[in-house]
Amino acid sequence: MDDKQKEVLKSRNIEILTGDVDYSQYFTIRQCAEIMDLSMGTVRKRIEKGEIPAKYHDAGEGKARYIISRKDVEVATITKDVVEVPRPITILELVQTFSVAIHEENIALREEQRETNERLDRIEKLLLEQKKSAPQLSFWEKLRSLLNL
């Protein structure tokens, strides 16, 4: 690792480890991404922003990588996003905010369900039409229609 890389990591408050590391105490970026249901790129970006505390294991040429403490991943899965509140809020305001968010999510889910049902209806109609016309077609015509040729 060159001095420039070391400076970048230090500026991000990322500790650089060398030598042997007990990997049972850490997750790799891939493991962290799977646990947190994020992409590996998002995990890297959050590490670089300091949102996910990580260490950098310099294990030699081509083997260096970020590692994240198991404790930090557990904490991060509990609090995925933190929203800064400009003023103190009451429990009632918090409950109302959650109620609105849940209501909006339910509306979106119902819309998705409606669209899915419409697609299923269209597929059923197409299958019925195909079934009605199928006995009149030869094997090759059926194959052509399936392949849309």
Residues 49 and 96 in one domain: no
Would residue 83 count as lying in a domain?
A: no
Would residue 15 count as lying in a domain?
A: yes
Q: What is the pLDDT of residues 13-53, one digit of tens each?
A: 888 888 888 888 899 899 999 988 889 999 989 888 888 88
C-alpha atoms less than 13 angstroms from C-alpha of 62 in its C-beta half-sphere: 0
Would residue 84 count as lying in a domain?
A: no
Would residue 86 count as lying in a domain?
A: no
**Residue bearing tokens 């500790």:** 15
Residues 66 and 101 in one domain: no
C-alpha atoms less than 13 angstroms from C-alpha of 4 in its C-beta half-sphere: 0
Question: Counting beta carbons within 10 angstroms of the beta carbon of residue 88, is it exposed (0 to 12), middle (13 to 18) or buried (19 or more)?
Answer: exposed
Would residue 95 count as lying in a domain?
A: yes
Residues 8 and 74 in one domain: yes
Report residue 14: phi and psi, to 5°. Answer: -105, 120
pLDDT category of residue 117 using cuts at 50, 70 and 90: very high
Would residue 23 count as lying in a domain?
A: yes
CATH of the domain at 23: 1.10.1660
Residues 68 and 8 in one domain: yes
Residues 49 and 25 in one domain: yes
Give me the number of domains the chain comprises.
2
**Residue bearing tokens 């052509």:** 144
Domain end call among 57, 78, 99: 78
For the beta carbon of residue 28, count every other beta carbon within 10 angstroms: 16
Q: Taken in order 84, 86, 90, 95, is the CA torsion positive or negative?
A: negative
Domain end call among 78, 99, 117: 78
Q: Which domain holds residue 37?
A: 3-78
Instruction: Determine contact, residues 55/14, Cβ cutoff 8 Å.
Output: yes
Instruction: Determine contact, residues 31/23, Cβ cutoff 8 Å.
Output: no
pLDDT category of residue 110 using cuts at 50, 70 and 90: very high
Lowest mean pLDDT among 42-46, 60-64, 93-97, 129-133: 60-64
